[in-house]
């Protein structure tokens, strides 16, 4: 059994906090550095299903991508969802840590995993983002497919490789696809950057109607594979990295990826 501090040190080596953007909220958000950790649950969000799963599995800690507490709290009310979750976590002694934009940016994190899952080669930086320490690192990745493919074929491949039932596709004429830019999660603000970088297709999530129009008008394909769909692939990778880091500490820690969390969106056809 290890301390929460040891786990946080391992998480720092995987996704250093100085990589996080200055508006982000990362690190240990619930609990104490001194508490003991024997079981860890890795999840995308700290929602009601994940909290219930952590309690059922007797987890001592949740390591999540999205912060459980994001904006400043002025109330802790147990009749509201966030307060109810925090109360349950504290009652059951479950610590919560977040690795958010630092996990997006770090090598081997969200965007590298996404790019590799899609079969991209010759990866390079996509867009530079400001970090909390004033430095700049790459948010997103841009790379190439082994050979050009038709956009519909690539879209079907995305569904298979990410394990999603569907994607939303914006076609730009008959342009073949080889150069691909990706930003996991919500990346619609970088559509113009993808055009400038010469991407044949830009893959991200949470794209709005007029943002999608802007991609089509500039002759670039766009695939919205969902916030959940583009970020979930990192969870087993993060769990594996934590296992490797903590094994060196000679402690016995069980690390599992959530089995209950699902995309909040369902599709009815």
Same domain, 202 and 136: yes
Domain of 33 in residue numbering reads as 2-103+233-257
Decide if 265 is inside a domain: no
Decide if 269 is inside a domain: no
Unique residue bearing structure tokens 């039932």: 165
Decide if 264 is inside a domain: no
Same domain, 154 and 185: yes
Q: What is the pLDDT of residue 114?
A: 99
Question: What is d(CA 15, CA 87) in angstroms, rounded to the nearest whole number?
Answer: 28
* Cα dihedral sign, 113-117-121-126: negative
Give the CATH number, domain containing residue 61: 3.40.1390.30
Same domain, 225 and 155: yes
- What's the domain count of the chain? 2
Per-residue pLDDT of the chain (269 residues; tens, 9 = 90+): 899 999 999 999 999 999 998 899 999 999 999 999 999 999 999 999 999 999 999 999 999 999 999 988 889 999 999 999 999 999 999 999 999 999 999 999 999 999 999 999 999 999 886 655 665 578 999 999 999 999 999 999 999 999 999 999 999 988 999 999 999 999 999 999 999 999 999 999 999 999 999 999 999 999 999 999 999 999 999 999 999 999 987 777 999 999 999 999 999 98
Same domain, 41 and 95: yes
End-to-end Cα distance, the chain: 48
Decide if 266 is inside a domain: no
Same domain, 88 and 123: no
Decide if 262 is inside a domain: no
Decide if 81 is inside a domain: yes
């Amino acid at each position: 059994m290890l301390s929460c501090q040891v786990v946080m040190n391992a998480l720092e080596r995987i996704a250093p906090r100085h990589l996080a953007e200055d508006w982000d909220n990362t690190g240990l958000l619930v609990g104490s550095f001194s508490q003991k950790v024997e079981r860890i649950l890795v999840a995308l969000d700290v929602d009601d299903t994940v909290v219930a799963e952590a309690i059922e599995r007797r987890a001592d800690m949740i390591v999540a991508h999205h912060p459980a507490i994001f904006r400043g709290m002025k109330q802790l009310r147990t009749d509201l969802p966030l307060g109810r979750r925090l109360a349950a976590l504290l009652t059951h002694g479950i610590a919560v840590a977040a690795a958010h934009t630092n996990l997006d940016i770090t090598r081997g994190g969200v965007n590298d995993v996404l790019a590799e899952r899609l079969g991209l080669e010759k990866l390079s930086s996509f867009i530079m983002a400001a970090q909390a320490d004033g430095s700049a690192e790459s948010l997103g990745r841009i790379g190439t497919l082994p050979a050009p493919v038709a956009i519909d074929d690539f879209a079907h491949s995305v569904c298979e490789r990410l394990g999603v039932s569907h994607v939303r596709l914006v076609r730009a004429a008959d342009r073949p696809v080889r150069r691909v830019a990706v930003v996991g999660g919500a990346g619609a603000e970088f559509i113009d950057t993808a055009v400038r970088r010469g991407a044949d297709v830009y893959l991200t999530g949470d794209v709005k109607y007029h943002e999608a129009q802007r991609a089509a008008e500039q002759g670039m394909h766009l695939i919205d594979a969902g916030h959940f769909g583009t970020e979930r692939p990192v969870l087993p990778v993060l769990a594996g990295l934590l296992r490797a880091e903590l094994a060196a500490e000679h402690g016995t820690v069980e690390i599992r990826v959530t089995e209950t969390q699902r995309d909040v969106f369902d599709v009815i056809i």
